Amino acid sequence: HSQGPVPLLPLGTALRPPWLCPHPITPQGLCIAGGPYGAVGVDLAFETLLGQIFGEDFIATFKAKRPAAWVDLTIAFEARKRAAAPFRANPLNISLPFSFIDFYRRHRGQNVETALKRSSVNFVKWSSQGMLRMSSEAMNDLFQPTVSQIIRHIDELLEKPDVKGIKFLFLVGGFAESAMLQHAVQSAFGSLCRVIIPQDVGLTILKGAVLFGLDPTIVRVRRSPLTYGVGVLNKFVEGKHPQEKLLVKEGKNWCTDIFEKFVSVDQSVALGEVVQRSYCPARVGQRKIIINIYCCATDDVVYITDPGVRKCGTISLELEELDEPHCPKSRRREIRASMQFGDTELKVAAMDVRTSKTVRAAIDFLSN
C-alpha cells in the first residue's frame, strides 16, 4: 500500500460491474473499475463476420433453428480465440459443424466454399479439411474494437486525479488471459506503470464474488454509476422556472417535475451511507404519497423530463387520518424520504413522521 494507488481492472467474458471506483486500494477497502469490456465483444465480432460471409439473415435463422450446432461453432471459435497472439503468423482453422454446411446448402442452394469465394472478406478462406481458415490479420481485426475500447477506458481512468502516480496495474478476469489484450495493455501503459497479470487470473472474479458474498463489508467505498433522485413539487419562482412547469393548486403556484438529487454520478458513497430529505404533501388532508425515483447518467439534470432521465422505481405511502385534538388540521405532515447507498442495491424508504409508518423499496444496480 505504500506504493500508491493501484487500479484493478476486471476483464471477464460478460462482466459489467455496477460501480466505478478508481480509488487507491487501502486497508479499509478494495476498489475496482470496469465495464462491458469482456471477450464477448470478440464473439460478437466473429458473428458479424459470419454475417458478412453467409448473410445476416442466414446466421439469425441458423441460431434459431440449430442452437446446438451454433453452440458447437462458438466453442470451436473459443478455442482459436484463446490461441490468438499478436505476432502469430500461421492461420487459425475453425471447424464448421456439418449441420451448418448442410443447412446453408439447403437454404442457399450452394455450398459454403462458393459463399467464401464470392464474399468480400479476403482474410477468410475455405480449407480442404472442411474448415474456415482465418489469417492472423482477420483474427486481429476481431479483437481490435474490444481491445481499443479497453485501452480507451484505462486511459480515461488514469486521467482521474484519484489515481495519479500509480505504479501497478492489475488485469484480472477471463479475458485478461488473452495474449492479444496483454500485449496491447503492455504497449500502451508499460512505460507508465507495471502491468501485472496474477496467477489464476481467470478465477479472480469468482474468488472476489465469493469473498464479497461472505463479507460484503470488504468493499467500503463505492462510486455512484448514475445520478439518483426523486421527482418533487417546488414553489414556482418567476424567471427561474419555465411556464410550462407551472401548476396551480389551492391558490398556490408550484413548479412540477423537479429532479431533486440524492447522489450525483461518480460521487463516492460509503457502505451504508444514508441521504435524507423531508417533504410535505402538496395539499392538506392528502391521504396518499407517491414518490417516483429517477436516475440519469449526467449531473446537470434539473427536471425529470430532461433527456436521459428515466424512472427506476416507485414507493407509495398511505397517510392515515389522525384524531389529534391538539393538532390543527391545517398543519402539514412531514414525509421523510431516505436513500441508503454503498451496497449493490439502492435502498429507498419513506416515513410518515407523525405515525412512523414506513414503506421501503430496493433498486438493483445490476439491472438499473
pLDDT for res 336 = 87
CATH code for the domain in which residue 256 is found:
2.60.34.10
pLDDT for res 9 = 55
pLDDT for res 57 = 93
Domain assignment of residue 277, yes or no: yes
Domain assignment of residue 146, yes or no: yes
Same domain, yes or no: 24 and 161: yes
Question: Domain ends where: 165, 200, 222?
Answer: 222
Q: How far apart are CA 342 and CA 271, in angstroms?
A: 4
pLDDT for res 61 = 94
Same domain, yes or no: 186 and 153: yes
Same domain, yes or no: 299 and 165: no
Same domain, yes or no: 288 and 335: yes
pLDDT for res 129 = 80
pLDDT for res 237 = 92
Q: How far apart are CA 4 and CA 165, in angstroms?
A: 7
Q: What is the pLDDT along the chain (368 residues), one digit of tens a residue?
A: 344 444 555 555 433 333 333 343 443 333 445 455 678 889 999 999 999 999 999 999 999 999 999 999 999 999 999 888 888 888 889 989 999 999 999 998 888 888 888 888 888 888 878 788 988 888 999 999 999 999 998 888 888 777 778 888 888 888 888 899 999 999 999 888 899 888 888 788 788 888 888 887 777 777 888 899 999 888 899 999 999 999 888 788 989 999 999 889 888 888 888 888 888 876 777 778 888 889 998 999 999 999 999 998 888 877 777 665 555 555 667 888 888 876 777 788 888 888 888 878 776 554 55
Instruction: Give me the domain span that covers residue 191.
Output: 8-39+141-222
pLDDT for res 184 = 93
Same domain, yes or no: 315 and 184: no
pLDDT for res 250 = 78
Same domain, yes or no: 195 and 294: no
Same domain, yes or no: 276 and 348: yes
Same domain, yes or no: 215 and 244: no
pLDDT for res 10 = 56
Same domain, yes or no: 290 and 348: yes
Domain count, the chain: 2
Domain assignment of residue 203, yes or no: yes
